[in-house]
Structure 1
Amino acid sequence: MSKTFTVKAEAREKVGKGAARHLRRTGMIPAVIYGDKQDPLPIAIPYKETFLALHAGGFMTHVGTIEVGGQSIQVLPKDYQLEPVRDFLMHVDFLRVSEKSRVTVEVPVHFENEEASPGLKRGGVLNVVRHEVEIECPATAIPEAFTVDLTGLEIGDSIHASALTLPKNVELTITDRDFTIATIAAPAALRSEEDEAEEAAAAAESAEAQAESDQED
């Protein structure tokens, strides 16, 4: 299960650009909690604490608790806005969740045992097609990451979604195909050699065919 976080927030009575600017000058940023068939709750959260959580990794897959107005509300970050020039955190949207909630999230894919892959040892390249995989799962049981074992993989081998070990009640959102997650690609030098060999073989076959044709004539 993913890690959790706790944020102490304040309820916001005023909304709008002016109120948001005032919050940011005091080291807070505007946010909102919505969902679970309840009215949206505008809140203010500490900028520094939230910024560090965002850049620690996995922020969008970590269920947290927001303490506000005497309540402890379980939430999942669903969106955030950054100031386009300075990457200043401007706003965060949180979704209310419970033990019964199911959510759609993107979970990172990690790779291990690269040293045990014969293809990579021969100079092959790990070509990652999907760094994250979208799943549907209980909000309180989001996997931290999926791990793919590269042991024994050769150049030309592919890793598909079926290779992932899904925990109980976790489902892939793409179910109509066994999509590719990564491949072990040949290095550029080897590909060039193979192309040259194929061209030489084709030229030889063409020459043989021409020679046979000349003999028949």
Structure 2
Amino acid sequence: MSHESYELKAEARERVGKGSARELRRNGLIPAVIYGDKQPPISITLNTNDVTKRIHAGGFMTTIVTIDIGGKKIKVLPKDYHLDPVRDFTMHVDFLRVSGNTQVTVEIPVHFINEDKSPGIKVGGVVNIVRHEVEVHCPADAIPEAFTVDLTGAKIGDSIHISQITLPKGVVPVITDRDFTIATIIAPAGGLSGEEGEEEA
């Protein structure tokens, strides 16, 4: 499962537009919108510090959030956010309403383990990461925190494909027409001393 769900306090926002948004930011608030689930969008404001803290904690885009608008609680998933390019503070957030049967499209990070058990890395090879994240369709209430790639036994020339990752039930890659590559083990630029194993099929 992804990071533990949390709650954010919000207020309904009557005025919209650039002038209103600037005024909110001066007061330490972020304009945001909740949409989806065949319901009209709701404009809200959130505390800037609360949201920025959550963004920097990691897993922001893959964690269900409960938005409390004056006692009315709505479950959502962050779909997009904009940062000020100069001052790096949050400018705006879009949230998607979710329910038990909502399917979402998210990017899941890929983690690599057991590099010390890879013959290819032991002789100087390196992991060439082709995809740091994999985009998948999955239930909103069952978003994986990460995919783990075990490098045990990986040799120079080996490729790790999506088929080698055990995906949780209901999780399907967006790319379905090929067994795409996640990473490869490649020889270092200076070459290797000694011989490495042949590439596996």
Give the TM-score normalised by the residue count of structure 1. Answer: 0.87
Q: Is the 8 A contact 2:67 2:75 kept in 1?
A: yes
Moved over 4 A (4+): 191-194
Q: SS state of the match for residue 140, structure 1?
A: coil
Query: Residues of 1 paired with 2:16 and 2:193: CA distance?
Result: 61
The answer to which structure has the higher helix fraction is 1
Q: Is the 8 A contact 2:127 2:183 kept in 1?
A: yes
Query: Residues of 2 paired with 1:191 and 1:102: CA distance?
Result: 47
Matches within 5 A, 1:127-206: 127-190=128-191
Q: SS state of the match for residue 153, structure 2?
A: coil
What 5-or-longer segments of structure 1 have no aligned partner? 195-217
Give the TM-score normalised by the residue count of structure 2. Answer: 0.93
Q: CA deviation at 1:192?
A: 11
Aligned residue identity for 1:2 = S
CA radius of gyration, larger in: 1
Cα RMSD of the aligned pairs, angstroms, is 1.5
Match of 1:38 in 2: 39
Number of equivalent positions: 194
Match of 1:2 in 2: 2
Match of 1:49 in 2: 50
What 5-or-longer segments of structure 2 have no aligned partner? 196-201
**Structure-2 change in CA distance of 1:193 and 1:149 (3 Å):** closer
Q: CA deviation at 1:191?
A: 6.5
Query: Residues of 1 paired with 2:70 and 2:99: CA distance?
Result: 19
Q: Is the 8 A contact 2:123 2:192 kept in 1?
A: no
Q: In the TM superposition, what whole-angstrom CA distance separates every residue of 1:96-139 from its partner, at most 9, and x where no partner exists?
A: 00011000100000000000001001000100000000110100
Q: In the TM superposition, what whole-angstrom CA distance separates every residue of 1:180-203 from its partner, at most 9, and x where no partner exists?
A: 000000011117999xxxxxxxxx
Q: SS state of the match for residue 46, structure 2?
A: strand
